[in-house]
């Protein structure tokens, strides 16, 4: 046996080091020399083993005091050695477990739970009217599904053609001695499946799953908002035989509407009004998101930009039979391209206006402020 380094020297601590100091030193050095961080570096791997071995002895008070008294001799040889691991030396369940406890989370190497198949995503665009009423849409997704020919077994003879893997006896993983500690690896014979197939299925080449394009109906509820995600449980990728499939997420995007803007459960619609309609008042007809029409009474003297509310003519509310409101915003247009007659009428209108030139309170207020402004600059 090659000469061994002093365990304290290996951990770069003094002989008086406390348990905490040992632990800190071990963590620091083990992280530094871990094989995952030094792939293919034999000297780092060697160092890592020394560090692990040293720590395994020194962290245990009994072993540490034996080491302090007898040195490496305490742990060597057959009969005279200090039996600390059920006689197995640095065997199964020793360092591997410690290592996993200490570094499992840090290295991301912890045990993985049995997973479902992968989730998949798709997108559907609907109109605002469809979002209002709710709609059924068909989506097409390409995923792996359980192979029908072999019922997911991967075997031509189905279940009868599947045997427990002789290498791992069905466990799907094997424990291998790496230097003096034990690591668990996916079984190389069955690639972790735990079973082997003699005659692979011709449809899936033994995979147990095949790629399929499926069409699915998606029920999109009334009131759905742009950006909503609908989950369809179990419609994602197959996880293989006996494993739950993933989910399908359908992202809903709602197209812009030419007439309506939506804000929550309210709907806004801009309606142009001729100047005379606004001035004299009028009844107008407006479209409603549900496909119907509504009448709005525009009062005389309506100003540009004014809103009118139509109760209950707004958007459907998700999971409810109620509806929001609709708001009409009027935009009063200044007439252009006047006929001769229109021009005459407007000139007459304006001369009439001049006689009570005050106009609206806002109009009067503006000119009173203008007067104040000029008076101020003079004084
Ligand atoms: Zn198959
Ligand atoms: Zn196996």
In this prediction, residue 86 carries a pLDDT of 36
In this prediction, residue 357 carries a pLDDT of 54
160 CA distance to ligand 1 centroid (A)?
13
The candidate with the shortest Cα–Cα distance to 251, out of 343, 126, 339, is 126
Give the tens place of pLDDT for each residue, 290-327: 999 999 999 999 999 999 999 999 999 888 889 999 99
pTM value is: 0.57
Q: Record the tokens describing residue 187, joined without a space.
A: 């079984």
Q: How far apart are the first and last CA of the chain?
A: 110
The candidate with the shortest Cα–Cα distance to 302, out of 282, 326, 317, 322, is 282
Q: What is the mean pLDDT of residues 347-365?
A: 74
In this prediction, residue 378 carries a pLDDT of 65
Give the tens place of pLDDT for each residue, 245-277: 899 999 999 999 999 999 999 999 999 999 999
Spatial separation of the C-alpha atoms in residues 230 and 119, rounded to whole Å: 12
In the block, residue with structure tokens 């929001």: 324
175 CA distance to ligand 2 centroid (A)?
11
158 CA distance to ligand 1 centroid (A)?
8
In this prediction, residue 95 carries a pLDDT of 40
Neighbours of ion ligand 1 (CB under 5 A): 147, 149-150, 201, 203-204
User: What would you report as the CA-atom Rg of the chain, rounded to the nearest whole angstrom?
Assistant: 40
35 CA distance to ligand 2 centroid (A)?
25
Give the tens place of pLDDT for each residue, 209-231: 999 999 999 999 999 999 999 99
99 CA distance to ligand 2 centroid (A)?
24
At 76, the pLDDT band (50, 70, 90 cuts) reads low
Neighbours of ion ligand 2 (CB under 5 A): 165, 167-168, 187, 189-190
Query: Which ligand number lies closest to the CA of residue 210?
Result: 1
């Amino acid at each position: 046996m090659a000469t061994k380094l002093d365990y304290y020297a290996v951990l770069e601590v003094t002989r008086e080091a406390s348990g905490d100091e040992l632990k800190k030193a071990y963590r620091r050095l083990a992280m530094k020399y871990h094989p995952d961080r030094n792939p293919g570096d034999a000297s780092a791997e060697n160092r890592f083993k020394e560090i692990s071995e040293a720590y395994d002895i020194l962290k245990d008070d009994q072993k540490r005091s034996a080491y302090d008294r007898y040195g490496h001799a305490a742990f060597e040889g057959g009969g005279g050695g200090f039996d600390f691991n059920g006689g197995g030396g640095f065997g199964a369940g020793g360092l591997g477990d410690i290592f996993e406890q200490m570094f499992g989370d840090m290295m991301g190497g912890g045990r993985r739970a049995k997973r479902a198949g992968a989730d998949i995503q798709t997108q559907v665009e609907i109109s605002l009217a469809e979002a209002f009423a709710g709609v059924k849409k068909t989506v097409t997704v390409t995923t792996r599904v359980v192979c029908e020919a072999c019922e997911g077994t991967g075997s031509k003879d189905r279940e009868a053609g599947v045997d427990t893997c002789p290498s791992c006896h069905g466990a799907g993983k094997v424990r291998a001695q790496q230097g003096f500690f034990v690591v668990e690896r996916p079984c190389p014979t069955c690639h972790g499946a735990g079973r082997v197939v003699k005659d692979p299925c011709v449809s899936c080449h033994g995979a147990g799953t095949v790629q399929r394009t499926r069409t699915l109906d998606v029920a999109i509820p009334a009131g759905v908002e742009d950006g909503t995600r609908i989950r369809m449980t179990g419609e994602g990728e197959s996880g293989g035989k006996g494993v739950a499939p993933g989910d399908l997420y359908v992202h809903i995007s709602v197209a812009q509407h030419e007439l309506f803007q939506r804000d929550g459960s309210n709907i806004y619609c801009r309606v142009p009004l001729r100047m005379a309609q606004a001035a004299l008042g009028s009844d107008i007809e407006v479209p409603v998101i549900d496909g119907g029409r509504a009448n709005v009474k525009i009062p005389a003297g309506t100003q540009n930009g004014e809103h009118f509310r139509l109760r209950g003519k707004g958007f459907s509310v998700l999971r409810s039979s109620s509806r929001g409101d609709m708001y009409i915003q009027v935009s009063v247009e200044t007439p252009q391209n006047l006929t001769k007659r229109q021009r005459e009428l407007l000139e007459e209108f304006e001369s009439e206006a001049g006689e009570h030139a005050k106009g609206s309170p806002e109009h009067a207020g503006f000119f009173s402020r203008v007067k104040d402004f000029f008076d101020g600059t003079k004084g």
